Amino acid sequence: MSDGSERQPASARWLDCRGRRLPLDGRPLVMGVLNVTPDSFSDGGRYVMPAVALDRARSMVEAGCDIVDVGGESTRPGADPVDVATETERVVPVVEALARELDVPVSVDTRKAEVMEAAVAAGASFINDVEALRGEGSLETAARLGVPVCLMHMRGEPRTMQRAVVYEDVVADVLGFLERRVEAARRAGIPDERLVVDPGFGFGKRLEDNLALLAGLHRFSALGLPVLVGLSRKSMIGDLIGRPVDERLSASLALAVLAAERGARIVRVHDVEATVDALRVTQAILEMDEQ
């Protein structure tokens, strides 16, 4: 276990997804969103059939995506939870098809230990948990499954998370939370090489909180772990420019670039091709900065 002093900088590492190694020292990795839900805020209802989901995933991979994130439960503000059986039925056939057919790792976006287990058995090689392994049995399950895990900050739970939001200092609060979850993950036996952190844009945060988090994103690199961000098409963009979900590409790209500039190593997006282009040119400048 690391005491922090010998921790490698996030920029010098690989993320090992069951033998598929994702480099963390080049342009930020692009995680393509594939929601197999009827009700997700952006792509709900479009990719529920495994064949359609596979087509969508293939086109994201052709567009340059490094990892595909499959989710079977919407976590948009106000969303109702789904039961384990429903989520498993949605996710497992799609994960199975993607893991068989694609050359990139498949991530499962879930906060349930049972779904993590079933998805990894079906071929998933990354766990993306918006509850940072706080669900029953999740820590132990993720430790045993041996795949990388993203620990995300969320205040409360999706149904209620936007009610009465108040932070004293949102960056310090979210950092403190992630520090505690990283510690819990280490104690459960998950090594740093398998940990990723995410401040959780839009999860129990007001516009001003989201803006402060992005402005202070560079501070999260102090955790010594790769930082993932999900900003694509989110309501903070709608709040700023008043455009509907399908007209938020330009603003999403601006936020992806700003996040990359502030040290994000993985960017979770709906629009893969445009984001890869934006991040490639960003990376060229960042590498000049480092010289």
How far is the CA of 2 from the CAs of 7, 221, 253, in angstroms? 6, 16, 35
Q: Which of 40, 88, 141, 275 binds ligand HH2 (CB under 6 A)?
A: 40
The dihedrals phi and psi of 154, each to the nearest 5 degrees, come to -140, 135
125 binds ligand HH2 (CB under 6 A): no
Contact by Cβ (8 Å): 228, 32? no
Residues carrying an active site annotation: 234, 268
User: Which residue's beta carbon is nearest to the bound ligand HH2?
Assistant: 230
| Interface characters, 182-221, with ligand HH2 (x: CB under 6 A) | ----------------x-xx--------------------
Q: Tokens 């480092």 correspond to what residue?
A: 290
Residue among 35 and 282 whose Cβ is closer to ligand HH2? 35
Q: Taken in order 66, 72, 75, 78, is the CA torsion positive or negative? A: positive
42 binds ligand HH2 (CB under 6 A): yes
Give the whole-angstrom CA distance, residue 285 versus residue 287.
5
Total of residues contacting ligand HH2 (CB under 6 A): 21
Q: Which of 17, 24, 30, 33 binds ligand HH2 (CB under 6 A)?
A: 33
11 binds ligand HH2 (CB under 6 A): no
41 binds ligand HH2 (CB under 6 A): yes
Q: Which two tokens stand for residue 170?
A: 């949102």
126 binds ligand HH2 (CB under 6 A): no
- E-strand ranges in 114-244 read 126-129, 149-152, 195-198, 228-230
75 binds ligand HH2 (CB under 6 A): yes
Contact by Cβ (8 Å): 75, 110? no
Residue among 13 and 76 whose Cβ is closer to ligand HH2? 76
How far is the CA of 81 from the CAs of 73, 76, 112, 157, 178, in angstroms? 7, 10, 11, 9, 23
Q: How far is the CB of 16 from ligand HH2 (least distance, A)?
A: 19
Q: Which two tokens stand for residue 33?
A: 């969103």
Q: Which of 27, 65, 74, 96 binds ligand HH2 (CB under 6 A)?
A: 74
Q: How far is the CB of 5 from ligand HH2 (least distance, A)?
A: 28
The dihedrals phi and psi of 69, each to the nearest 5 degrees, come to -110, 110
| Interface characters, 221-250, with ligand HH2 (x: CB under 6 A) | -------x-x--------------------
Antiparallel, parallel or unpaired: β 14-17 and 20-23: antiparallel
Residues in contact with ligand HH2 by the rule CB under 6 A: 33, 35, 37, 40-42, 71, 74-76, 109, 128, 130, 150, 152, 198, 200-201, 228, 230, 268
